Amino acid sequence: MIGTKLGPYEITEEIGKGGMATVYRAYQPSMDRHVAVKVIHASMLGDEVGRDRFQREAKLIAKLEHPHLLPIYDFDGAHDPPYIVMRFLEGGTLKQVMEADRLPAEEMLYLLHQVASALDYAHRQGVVHRDLKPSNIMIDKEGNAFIADFGIARVSDAPKDLTGTGNVIGTPGYMAPEQARGKVDVDSRADVYSLGVIIYELLAGQGPFDRENPLEELMAHVQEPVPDIREANPELSANVNQVVQKSLAKDREERYATSGELVSNLGKALKKQASSAPSQLRSLTQSFAAEQLVALEEHAPEAKTPSDIQRQMTALHMDVTDFAELLYETEEADRVQRAIDRLWHAFQGIAEEHGGALESRTGEAGLMLWGREEAHESDPEQAIRAALRMKAAIEQASVAQLGATQAELPFKAGITTGPVLLTREQSGDSSGRPMTGRVG
């Protein structure tokens, strides 16, 4: 598939595989942009009738427009294999965020409010997601959530499954009991349940019914009482447990009527407001984006499209959020901001001295690139040297501002390098192998 064309889209690499489709990154020359192309496994559609239905339902879904729904640009259900074209998001998924770190409650609420607003909007249009799970919540570099794959579970489900017994499409760990039972009239409350599972996982660090075997997990959702979330996280209150229990009620009549209601009740129970600037989330998604930029492993394109140029690039991601937080403990906000700006000014100078350039910065975190104009064999080494100098700069700043060196320096850094696929626009894109992990 890599190096071939699907309609006007030039497939450049595989991004991921799910149960019913493979997702590729592709280049769309007419718009000079990168898109995500989801190619549905032929077996998911069945016969002619299945294809017609796919076409009809995809049209319906493509009509949904909301700031927190991942936009669908195009689809072709008549093509073999059928595909859906969506906005490409490089910041990773909520699944990756959950695997990397536990978010502060304020930042969870920030995400959950966005997700709930998109869900409620779609439900008002009469569309149920049916496969809501962390890997279907994409995050951009600013920390904003976008629900992906709305209704796809339904679109790609062959008609014979609908009339037959096993209409079980979705992911076992997040599926509502009525959906697991194969009830045909699954409605918005199934999505409220899935959101409840995601919330459980965010707060407890584990799912309510984690089992080795997917079938057992499915059965547990159907039959077993939801464990008190305080068993997994004793810091949570009885009120939080109540909200979680209600969202995960076996009987959908007992659940919250809308996702918005669920999330606002969760906020009250946690006694927390949604954050206005989710710095931890931003830092995580920026580092995912940096990894994306350089680190897409084996899938080097076999045949390059004429618009592509292959080049070696090295990315250095720095994040001094922890340092800023230490400063906030003793300093006024604007003084902290100035100190962080000075530090970033120094980073930029250091990067330039070592042949790199500051590519982007949001608050405390930023990305520096080597080999953007012209690649040099020494780029990775220069980037490491620069990172060490930056580490020294933080050490200095830390002595100056806090009066002592910290036992553990309060910053995170990552370096990745690899052959990067550039387009005419030089929008950095990739395929390579991560070289080093954390420095410092």
Ligand X SMILES: Nc1ncnc2c1ncn2[C@@H]1O[C@H](COP(=O)(O)OP(=O)(O)O)[C@@H](O)[C@H]1O
Name the residue nearer to ligand X (CB basis): 89 or 108.
89
Interaction partner, residue 93 (Mg ion, ligand X, none; CB < 5-8 Å by kind): ligand X
Rounded to the nearest whole angstrom, what is the least distance from the CB of residue 46 to ligand X in the complex? 19
Q: Which residues pair with 317 in a beta bridge?
A: 367, 414
Name the residue nearer to Mg ion (CB basis): 13 or 308.
13
**Residue 26 near residue 6 (C-beta atoms within 8 A):** yes
Please tell me which residue in 52, 80, 101, 131 is annotated as part of the active site: 131
Rounded to the nearest whole angstrom, what is the least distance from the CB of residue 136 to ligand X in the complex? 5
Q: CA-to-CA distance for 107 and 100, rounded, in angstroms?
A: 14
Interaction partner, residue 36 (Mg ion, ligand X, none; CB < 5-8 Å by kind): ligand X
Sign of torsion, CA 9 11 14 19?
positive
Taking the alpha carbons at both ends of the chain, their separation in whole angstroms is: 40
Q: Are strands 365-370 and 145-147 parallel, antiparallel or unpaired?
A: unpaired
Q: How many residues does the chain have?
A: 440
Name the residue nearer to Mg ion (CB basis): 136 or 292.
136
Rounded to the nearest whole angstrom, what is the least distance from the CB of residue 25 to ligand X in the complex? 7
For residue 143, what are the contacts with CB-CB under 8 A and spacing of at least 6?
91, 107, 110, 111, 278, 281, 282, 285
Residue 256 burial (C-beta neighbours within 10 Å; 0-12, 13-18, 19+): buried
Rounded to the nearest whole angstrom, what is the least distance from the CB of residue 89 to ligand X in the complex? 4
Interaction partner, residue 191 (ligand X, Mg ion, none; CB < 5-8 Å by kind): none
Distances (CA, A) of 15 to 24, 27, 91, 295: 5, 13, 13, 11
Catalytic status, residue 131: yes
The CB-nearest residue to Mg ion is 149
Name the residue nearer to ligand X (CB basis): 99 or 352.
99
Q: Residues interacting with ligand X, by CB under 6 A?
A: 15-18, 21, 23, 36, 70, 86-89, 93, 135-136, 138, 148-149
Name the residue nearer to ligand X (CB basis): 210 or 353.
210
Interaction partner, residue 16 (ligand X, Mg ion, none; CB < 5-8 Å by kind): ligand X
Rounded to the nearest whole angstrom, what is the least distance from the CB of residue 142 to ligand X in the complex? 15
345-352, long-range: CB within 8 Å, 24+ apart, which pairs?
346/390, 346/393, 347/318, 347/390, 347/393, 350/386, 350/389, 350/390, 350/393, 351/316, 351/386
Q: CA-to-CA distance for 378 and 370, rounded, in angstroms?
A: 10
Q: Residues interacting with Mg ion, by CB under 5 A?
A: 136, 149
Residues annotated as part of the active site = 131
